[in-house]
Structure 1
Amino acid sequence: MGYLSAVTLLWAFSFSLIGVYLAGQVDAWFSVLTRVVLAALVFLPFLRRQHLHWRLALKLMVVGAFQLGIMYCFYYQSFLYLSVPEVLLFTIFTPIYVTLIYDMLHRQFSAWYLATAAIAVLGAAVIKFEGINEDFILGFFIVQGANLCFAIGQVGYKRIMEQEKVDLPQHTVFGLFYLGAIAVALPMFVLFGDTSKLPATTTQWGILIYLGTVASGLGYYLWNKGATLVNAGALAIMNNAWCLPD
């Protein structure tokens, strides 16, 4: 739980930074691409071919494409429709997705894990509910897309590592996770990006660098490694551990 707890603290500031300094000011597709490229630059130097086979490489890239690439595409768009508290509120459904996907992959059903996830959702709803406006349906579904991709990614990574040899140094293969995210983010920026809305201040650039290298680079590695060390119920609960009052 130590890795997951550390990352919740690391990610605690990201929502407000994006909502206040980036959303509506910096092109969302550029923000996504910048974050995943910077994160990749952190881990690609550690990549070691002797720990790889093509199936593992492909699986890691697919997981990264979902958990970071597609998820960020949904996530950043949600801030165009919702306030920061609303985005936080709607992310509370992730534990249920985590539990259901994990059980589906293992062809089982754990009522206990689902119950603990549901309790986490209800608890987070009580903590974060602050009154929301009436025009939030589209934003709600966008956030659910992000939640689902995030759940698919972390459960997928946990499943992959369960199938690999236990002594695999995860940092020596994790760069491929970010390459998968880039494979999604780059074409999305090329197709939909607005080059007239690139970062205009040192503050915006600084926030993107922090989000890319620390929140995404270090954060996603520690989160996914932590996911391999706990059961699905604990992982589901930790998905709402950051849901504290702003």
Structure 2
Amino acid sequence: MSYLIAVTLLWAFSFSLIGVYLAGQVDAYFAVLLRVLLAFVLFLPFMRRVSAALTLKLLVLGAVQLGLMYLFYYQSFLLLTVPEVLIFTIFTPVYITLLYDALQRRFRYRFLLAALLAVVAAAIMRYQGLTQDYWLGFAVVQGANLCFALGQVGYKVLLEQQPVKLVQHQLFGWFYLGAVLVALPAWYLLGSTQYPQTATHWAVLLWLGLVASGGGYYCWNKGATLVSSGMLAVMNNMLIPAGLVVNIVLWNRDENLLSLTIGSVLLILSCMLCKPVRNSVKPGVANGPTN
């Protein structure tokens, strides 16, 4: 749980950086490529050879969760306002819950209820008036949400199925390489010459690539293997109150403190629904690796 909380705080800063300093100023495809390439270089020294089957699965998961997700995500900022992107990301918990239960061939109503409660909480905290022509943007954001959910669930299930405990930081280079294999041809075929022009652009991209992506996604996915699918789903919407707090403290944005408080309480209740039942094995943890 501590991994997910730490990354939530980290990403709370990163969201506004994209909308304020990069969207419309730096080519989205180049920004995606640089982020995943920097993350790959960061983990390159730790990479170890693993079986061909495991390598392929890690490449596919990285391609989906980071490569495809980022392509959708950055394009959404060109179609929507930042508040609209935020409100449309609240459906990710539901996707995670349904995907994980489908792969496990079971249905946990408590986790789905917790995910739905997290959606309601996020909507209360973040809802603002939507523009009229937003349906394309909505579809693009849902593409990003699905890719992010598929990657998280797929990685969690993959490591739970391993017969031996794996050292995750030795695997994650393959994960980032999968993202590079998607971002590189996308930039070559669709990118423009709108490259970073200022020191601020480069500083933001370095931060996003090395810290938010490089360290962030490793810690987030590792944390995903240590909690239940319901808790993972709920934590996906914790970014919204964290982001609002960052806006209030650092950027002095006017936010509705009442809606923030109500939404935060509902998120806490949704987390309580995800606690393991007494005298039962904690779901999704027993077979998970610890490093």
Pairwise TM-score range, normalised by the shorter structure: over 0.9
| Correspondences of 1:221-232 after superposition (within 5 Å) | 221-232=218-229
After TM superposition, give the deviation of residue 44 of structure 1 in Å: 1.2
For 1:173 and 1:44, the matched residues in 2 are separated by 10
Counterpart position of 2:189: 191
Equivalent in 210, 223, 226 of residue 207 of structure 2: 210
Counterpart of 1:147, as a letter, is N
Counterpart position of 1:239: 236
After TM superposition, give the deviation of residue 167 of structure 1 in Å: 2.3
Deviates more, 1:145-154 or 1:8-17: 8-17
| Correspondences of 1:65-104 after superposition (within 5 Å) | 65-104=63-102
For 1:37 and 1:234, the matched residues in 2 are separated by 30
Counterpart position of 2:12: 12
Counterpart of 1:34, as a letter, is L
1:66-102 per-position Cα deviation (integer Å, ceiling 9, x unaligned):
1000000000000001111111111000000000110
Counterpart position of 1:130: 128
Identity %: 63
Q: TM-score, normalised by structure 2?
A: 0.82
| Correspondences of 1:133-212 after superposition (within 5 Å) | 133-195=131-193, 197-212=194-209
* Partner SS for 2:144: helix
After TM superposition, give the deviation of residue 148 of structure 1 in Å: 0.2
Larger relative contact order (CA 8 Å, sep ≥ 6): 1
Counterpart of 2:133, as a letter, is D
For 1:178 and 1:164, the matched residues in 2 are separated by 20
Task: List gaps (5 residues or longer) in structure 2.
Answer: 248-291
For 1:66 and 1:48, the matched residues in 2 are separated by 22
Counterpart position of 1:39: 39
For 2:123 and 2:61, the matched residues in 1 are separated by 28
Counterpart of 2:100, as a letter, is Y
For 2:53 and 2:181, the matched residues in 1 are separated by 17
After TM superposition, give the deviation of residue 224 of structure 1 in Å: 0.1
After TM superposition, give the deviation of residue 166 of structure 1 in Å: 4.6
1:170-214 per-position Cα deviation (integer Å, ceiling 9, x unaligned):
00111000000011000000100002x000001001100000000
Deviates more, 1:102-111 or 1:75-84: 102-111
Greater Rg by CA: 2
Counterpart of 1:116, as a letter, is A
Question: Cα RMSD between the aligned structures?
Answer: 0.8
Counterpart of 1:221, as a letter, is Y
Counterpart of 1:124, as a letter, is A
Counterpart of 2:82, as a letter, is V
For 2:132 and 2:14, the matched residues in 1 are separated by 25
For 2:160 and 2:188, the matched residues in 1 are separated by 36
For 1:185 and 1:60, the matched residues in 2 are separated by 16
